[in-house]
Amino acid sequence: MILVTGGAGFIGANFVLDWAAQQGEAVVNLDKLTYAGNLETLASLDDNPKHVFVQGDIGDSALLDRLLAEHKPRAIVNFAAESHVDRSIHGPEDFVQTNVLGTFRLLESVRGYWSALPADQKAAFRFLHVSTDEVYGSLSATDPAFTEENKYEPNSPYSASKAASDHLVRAWHHTYGLPVLTTNCSNNYGPFHFPEKLIPLMIVNALAGKPLPVYGDGMQVRDWLYVKDHCSAIRRVLEAGRLGETYNVGGWNEKPNIEIVNTVCALLDELRPRADGKSYREQISYVTDRPGHDRRYAIDARKLERELGWKPAETFDTGIRKTVEWYLANGEWVANVQSGAYREWVQKQYEAAPAKAAA
């Protein structure tokens, strides 16, 4: 039995779905169901006795103590977090609350549980913390990709809160001997991605005939990894990672944002052409830049490849095609996540400020 936190969000749910399909080991899924948590994503597991869903907060120590005592997991995989940079700019407090304080409370409950385990189970136990490359800050165009040796230089409230959580995890290993592993992954994309992030937002806006908002000059670079490849990396690190180590996860797919948007448009032009025969590119709209916008992220994942033999299965071309096809085939999921509170976010982020003239 493993305990996954945040398993109703984008990456956590993909991980839980893959785990249930491949591993045969039960999973307890603790998720607060914030705006980003979605039980519809997990609907295919409704009748699966090896998936136990619990709605709750990683900061709720009493709940955690109870879950750990009841289910006795051999490992924890911690996905639960506030994850969107733009939301962290509008309202950083939730990020400190969940990513910093929540991780601290989770670590404390896990430490109590782990300390009392019999010696063999104690030795085999693992706490895997899922983190981001954004903790390393921003690269110039000529800097080498981030390795695990890079300094932490987080720039956004989101990345600062994730950096803090990584430091807590590290300290719980060094001070208390908790058997931890940390992964720092680049930008993910794929099925079940909430349409506040670049790729799904572009797909759903394009199909709805809305503007495709590109921040600043659109030349910021992100390093993209298909979500299922991130999940396979986490399984591999959980299985064979060296205790106390961090592993960068990425697929060497650096792309400027505008290229991503153009690729999404080209795929939609092919798979679901606009009624007027024009390209979806017509909808691109350059808008005011994100404050403090990191210019470039790039991941050097050679440690993970060298030590644990991990490699991604998808190239960017295969992954982005699968993603666009998934959104076209899952209109109901998309319509449902866009109802309710999503409207408020879109208004706050995109409709309050006027679009800039085309760059």
Catalytic residue (one of 133, 229, 300, 314): 133
CA 339 vs. chain centroid, Å, equals 22
Only one residue has tokens 């109901």, namely 332
If the CB atoms of residues 181 and 283 are measured against ligand NAD, the closer one turns out to be: 181
346 binds, among ligand NAD, ligand TYD, none (CB under 5 to 8 A by kind): none
213 binds, among ligand TYD, ligand NAD, none (CB under 5 to 8 A by kind): ligand TYD
Query: For tokens 């495709």, what's the residue?
Result: 212
Among this protein's residues, is 158 annotated catalytic? Answer: yes
Choose the one of ligand TYD, ligand NAD, none that binds residue 257, judging by a C-beta under 5 to 8 angstroms depending on kind: ligand TYD
Least gap, CB of 313 to ligand NAD (angstroms): 17
Interface residue list for ligand NAD (CB under 6 A): 5-6, 8-12, 30-34, 36-37, 57-59, 79-83, 98, 102, 130-132, 162, 185, 187-188, 194
Amino acid at 136: Y
Residue 98 binds which one of ligand TYD, ligand NAD, none, with CB within 5 to 8 A depending on kind? ligand NAD
Pick between residue 43 and residue 124 the one whose CB is nearest to ligand NAD.
43
162 binds, among ligand TYD, ligand NAD, none (CB under 5 to 8 A by kind): ligand NAD
Tokens of 148: 């695990």
Q: Which lies closer to ligand NAD via its Cβ, residue 185 or residue 265?
A: 185
**Residue 200 contact among ligand TYD, ligand NAD, none, beta carbon within 5 to 8 Å by kind:** none
Q: Which is nearer to ligand TYD, 126 or 193 (CB)?
A: 193
Of 134, 223, 229, 294, the catalytic one is 134
CB of 103 or CB of 257, closer to ligand TYD: 257
4, 28 in Cβ contact below 8 A?
A: yes
| Residues at the site binding ligand TYD, with contacts judged by CB under 6 A | 85, 187, 197-198, 201, 213-215, 220, 222, 257, 290
Written as six digits, the tokens of 339 are 């109802």
**What is the nearest approach in angstroms of ligand TYD to the Cβ of residue 216?**
7
The residue of the chain with the least Cβ separation from ligand NAD equals 9
Give the CB-side neighbour count of residue 154, counting CA atoms within 13 A: 20
For the bound state, the minimum distance from the C-beta of residue 119 to ligand NAD, rounded and expressed in Å, comes to 31
Q: Give min distance, CB of 290 to ligand TYD, in A.
A: 6
Pairing of strands 75-78, 126-132: parallel
**Residue 222 CB, nearest distance to ligand TYD (Å)?**
5
Residues 186, 297 contacting (CB under 8 angstroms): yes
Q: Which is nearer to ligand NAD, 80 or 264 (CB)?
A: 80
Identify which of residues 20 and 286 has a Cβ nearer to ligand NAD in the complex: 20
Which residue's structure tokens are 């295969």? 318
In the complex, minimum distance from the CB of residue 14 to ligand NAD, in angstroms, rounded to a whole number: 8
User: Is-contact 66 57, C-beta < 8 A?
Assistant: no
Q: Which of 158, 226, 247, 327 is catalytic?
A: 158
Tell me how far, at minimum, the Cβ of 33 lies from ligand NAD, in Å: 5
Q: What positions carry a catalytic annotation? A: 133-134, 158
